[in-house]
A and B are shown apart, each in its own frame.
Chain A
Amino acid sequence: MNRAPGTGSPAVAEAARFASEVRGRAAAWDREGGLPAGVLKEAAAAGLLGAGIPERFGGQGVTPAELGEICAHLGGVCSALRGLVTVQGMVAAALHRWGTGEQRARWLPALAGGELTAGFAATEEAAGSALSAVRTRIEDAGDGEHVTVTGHKKWITFGQVAQVLLVLGQDKGKPAAVVVEADREGVSREPVGGQLGMRAAQIAHIGLDAVRVPRTNLVAPSGLGLSHVAGTALDHGRFTVAWGCVGMAEACVEDATAHAAARTQGGEALAGHQSVRALLAKAAVETAGARELARRAAEFRSGGAPGSVTETIVAKYAAAAAAASASSTAVQVLGSAGCEPDSRAGRHFRDAKVMEIIEGAQQVAELHIAEQLMRRHAGRGPAPASPAAEVRA
């Protein structure tokens, strides 16, 4: 399927060039479990880390549609690289949206230029989909100027290298968000390796042992750390993950089709078999559908339309499913070549499964999407008395 128009912006062209240049290195990053430090610098120099940050803070100020295309190019090559752009963008989006003028001026230019790498430290052992259950404590340090942050964060993307962490915790029982610089005393990192996917994303569990940070690092008033600060970060994350999945699915359709056309068995090309063509057609249509939903989410976002949160969830849901399906097809069509070490299709297959879990598992997205349906079609009244009433309505 052809890429949509509007891909001619310089920022998107630069991302395409970068993606094609590093394409051959992504398998080694996956095998070795990380992006070399030089790649982070190259990505920063290419402007990828600050793509979505406004120009007045040193970013490129691209539109949502352009940011989407950038993530599709990167996702088609390496989900960990796309994840780097996602995480940096999530933290920047939250700080831009809910930071004070002073906080924006302090962190956004450094995030845009890549002098600082960000981590989003929300999830914990007992708080995955249900982030309101986080137990990390943000407490008054007693001097009026500092707070201490204590807790244990799990599965933090680029947590091995992040220099600033946006941490979600509880302040006297209210959800609160705080920026913790990773070089402060009491921050420890436990690298995670060998997990199913996103192996180059330098994931870490992060310990916070009474880490003392200035009160000026608190982002937004207590009580709004989850709904507003983390909410904005996750909304941004879902958008870039959706587009990364679109790119991954497109790459899988291309690889599977090229292989099916070139590979012969018993004197016939694989593509000569109806069953193989059916696999390719199904994957291509799911992928094209996901692209259109991602494009629609970009339109909602650029207009600031109230439905943008939901449209983004719909796009992420469809795109993660398309990536999982197309990558499964690609491995199937490639056969042993899809299973061998360093197989691109195999890597996408593992990464795509992770995409069905992070930034809101598919089942959580379904709950929200169905709730939107209820708003439109189920009428209203007093809160429903029982689940059965909801089903009937």
Chain B
Amino acid sequence: MNDITREITEFLSAALRSEVGPDDDYFALGLADSLFALELVTFVESRFSLTVEVEDLDLESFRTANRITRFVQRKTGSPEFTENR
């Protein structure tokens, strides 16, 4: 598990009060409520200094810790995406 995935699984496990693995679909497991979705977006944005735009919004990219990791890598790997708020 890389550092990004580790941080995300840690956040998810703490927030959802349940051990969440890198490939666990926590929405499908019924662990997340509607307020949690915004908290997760805010966490990812503030922790990895990026902005989640509507074009990025796709339940699939946020469904598991590994998918969020790939999303973060894609966003932070492209300089034009990092400071566009």
A interface, CB within 8 angstroms of B: 98-100, 131-132, 219-221, 223-224, 226-228, 231-232, 235, 303-306, 308-310, 368, 374-375, 378-384
Q: Which of B44-85 contact A (CB under 8 A)?
A: 45-47, 54-55, 57-59
Given contacts A220-B54, A223-B59, A303-B46, 8 further A-B contacts (CB under 8 A): A131-B34, A220-B57, A221-B58, A221-B59, A306-B43, A309-B35, A378-B17, A381-B17
Contact status of A375 and B37, CB under 8 A, knowing A308-B42, A383-B31: no
A221/B57 in contact, CB under 8 A: yes
Instruction: Give B54's nearest chain A residue, CB to CB.
Output: A98
Q: Name the interface residues of B1-34: CB closer than 8 Å to any CB of A.
A: 13-19, 31, 34
Residue of B at shortest CB range from A132?
B34
Minimum CB–CB distance for A370 against chain B, Å: 12
A228 touches B46 (CB 8 A): no
Known: A132-B34, A309-B38, A368-B35. Contact between A380 and B14, CB under 8 A?
yes
Asked if B46 and A304 sit within 8 Å, CB to CB, the answer is yes
Beta-carbon nearest neighbor of B14 in chain A = A375
Considering the chains assembled together, what is the distance between the CA atoms of A308 and B43 in angstroms? 10
Q: By the criterion CB–CB under 8 Å, are B46 and A100 in contact?
A: no
Q: B62 CB to closest chain A CB, in angstroms?
A: 10
Q: Contacts A132-B34, A223-B59; is A309 near B39 (CB within 8 Å)?
A: yes
Cross-chain contact B18 with A381 (CB below 8 angstroms): yes
User: Looking across the interface, which residue of chain B has its beta carbon closest to that of A175?
Assistant: B34
Q: Contacts of B38 on A, CB cut-off 8 Å?
A: 227-228, 231-232, 235, 309
The secondary structure that dominates the B interface is: helix
Known: A305-B46, A380-B14. A231 touches B54 (CB 8 A): no
Q: Contact check: which of B14, B36, B45 meets A304 at CB < 8 Å? A: B45
Find chain B residues with CB under 8 A from A98 CB.
54, 57
On chain B, the residues within 8 Å of A228 by CB distance are: 37-38, 41, 57
Please indicate the chain B residues that have their CB under 8 angstroms from the CB of A381 in the complex: 17-19
What are 17 contact pairs spanning A and B, CB under 8 A? A98-B54, A100-B54, A131-B34, A220-B54, A221-B58, A224-B57, A227-B34, A227-B35, A227-B36, A227-B38, A305-B42, A306-B39, A309-B42, A374-B17, A378-B17, A380-B16, A381-B18
Q: Which residue of B has the minimal Cβ distance to A360?
A: B35
Shortest 6 CB-CB contacts between residues of A and residues of B: A227-B37, A306-B43, A227-B34, A380-B17, A306-B42, A231-B38
Contact A304-B42, Cβ < 8 Å, known A227-B34, A227-B37, A228-B57: yes
CB distance from B71 to the nearest CB of A (A): 15
Question: B residues within 8 A CB of A219?
Answer: 54
Using Cβ atoms and an 8 Å threshold, which residues of chain A touch B14? 375, 380
Q: Which A residues touch B34, using CB under 8 A?
A: 131-132, 226-227, 231
How far, in Å, is B29 (CB) from chain A's closest CB? 8
- Least distance between B83 CB and chain A CB atoms (Å): 14
The contact of A224 among B13, B47, B59, by CB within 8 Å, is: B59
**In the complex, which of the residues A131, A219, A306, A374 has the most CB atoms of chain B within 10 Å of its own CB atom?**
A306
Contact yes or no, A231 B35, CB < 8 A: yes
- Which residues of chain A are within 8 angstroms of B19 by Cβ–Cβ distance? 380-382
| Known A378-B17, A380-B18, A381-B18; contact A231-B42, beta-carbon cutoff 8 A | no
Q: Which A residues are CB-close (under 8 A) to B31?
A: 383
- Residue among A99, A220, A304, A310 facing the most chain B CB atoms (10 A cut-off): A304
Q: Is the beta-carbon distance between B18 and A382 smaller than 8 angstroms?
A: yes
CA distance A377 to B42 in the complex (A): 22
**Distance in angstroms between the alpha carbons of A308 and B42 in the assembled complex:** 8
Nearest residue, chain A, Cβ from B20: A380
CB neighbours (8 Å) of B35 from chain A are 227, 231, 309, 368
Whole-angstrom CA separation of A64 from B45 in the bound complex: 18
Q: Which residues of B contact A131 (CB under 8 A)?
A: 34
